[in-house]
Chain A
Amino acid sequence: AQKITQTQPGMFVQEKEAVTLDCTYDTSDPSYGLFWYKQPSSGEMIFLIYQGSYDQQNATEGRYSLNFQKARKSANLVISASQLGDSAMYFCAMREQYNFNKFYFGSGTKLNVKP
């Protein structure tokens, strides 16, 4: 079974609008972490935001927030006030504590921000 599922291969958003990128995950480990990474066309992987399975509040980092719904096993990334520089691939990832903190990644979502 897929550990991480990203169902949106590509998305468009108008500059200055908010956008939500979907991510669902599958684990039986009670202790896990969820991550989002950005990969611009240059290829580097940039860490954006982290959510722990025991965190009570949704994580936020500047314009990024994580909509964590534990019962639904979803961890959607919300980008507010989109900028042209947000155009990139976005990957959702999960780390399971019982599994040596091994990282699993989804297939990614290509976000295009339109001027």
Chain B
Amino acid sequence: DVKVTQSSRYLVKRTGEKVFLECVQDMDHENMFWYRQDPGLGLRLIYFSYDVKMKEKGDIPEGYSVSREKKERFSLILESASTNQTSMYLCASSLRQGRNTEAFFGQGTRLTVV
């Protein structure tokens, strides 16, 4: 059974804290994604990685960074958490090549910054 696993389902952090959200996939996928999901705004791409150590900014990268040291793991870092980063965060992975290459999602992390 294919899997994308996010390290936490729920997180509560304080303003100014450094926050790490971890994502691991077991499908040997090249592509990994971090999305933020807010009501009425859908899924917005924060960062994208197409290979180890390679990353590209998405639509809303401000206040976030990422790390991909190993193919299976993609971390999202909030350098100094703020209340406007309270949201649902979804990690996904997919093959880089191929026709019907759907994205597989983790269960999501609901982050609350207080």
Contact indicator B102/A104 (Cβ below 8 Å): no
Task: Indicate whether A107 reaches chain B with its CB closer than 8 angstroms.
Answer: yes
Task: Indicate whether B50 reaches chain A with its CB closer than 8 angstroms.
Answer: yes
A47 to B104, CA, bound (A): 8
Number of interface residues of A (CB under 8 A): 23
Distance (whole angstroms) from the CB of B35 to the closest CB of chain A: 7
Please judge, given known A-B contacts A9-B40, A107-B41, whether A43 and B88 are in contact too, CB under 8 Å.
yes
Name the residue of chain A whose CB is nearest to the CB of B105.
A45
List the one stretch of B16-24, B64-72, B74-82, B93-101 in contact with chain A: B93-101
Distance (whole angstroms) from the CB of B68 to the closest CB of chain A: 14
Contact indicator B101/A104 (Cβ below 8 Å): no
Contact indicator A105/B42 (Cβ below 8 Å): yes
Contact indicator B50/A100 (Cβ below 8 Å): yes
Task: Indicate whether B103 reaches chain A with its CB closer than 8 angstroms.
Answer: yes
Contact indicator B102/A35 (Cβ below 8 Å): yes
Task: Indicate whether A27 reaches chain B with its CB closer than 8 angstroms.
Answer: no
Number of interface residues of B (CB under 8 A): 28
A104 to B43, CA, bound (A): 8
Contact indicator A47/B48 (Cβ below 8 Å): no
Contact indicator A105/B101 (Cβ below 8 Å): no
Contact indicator B45/A43 (Cβ below 8 Å): no
Which residues on the B side are within 8 Å of A95 (C-beta)?
A: 94, 101, 103
With A33-B99, A102-B33 known, 12 other A-B pairs at CB within 8 A are A43-B108, A44-B105, A45-B90, A91-B43, A100-B50, A101-B95, A101-B96, A101-B101, A102-B48, A105-B35, A105-B42, A105-B43
**B interface residues, Cβ below 8 angstroms from A:** 31, 33, 35, 40-45, 48, 50, 56, 88, 90, 92, 94-97, 99-105, 107-108
**A interface residues, Cβ below 8 angstroms from B:** 4, 6, 9, 33, 35, 43-45, 47, 50, 52, 91, 93, 95, 100-108
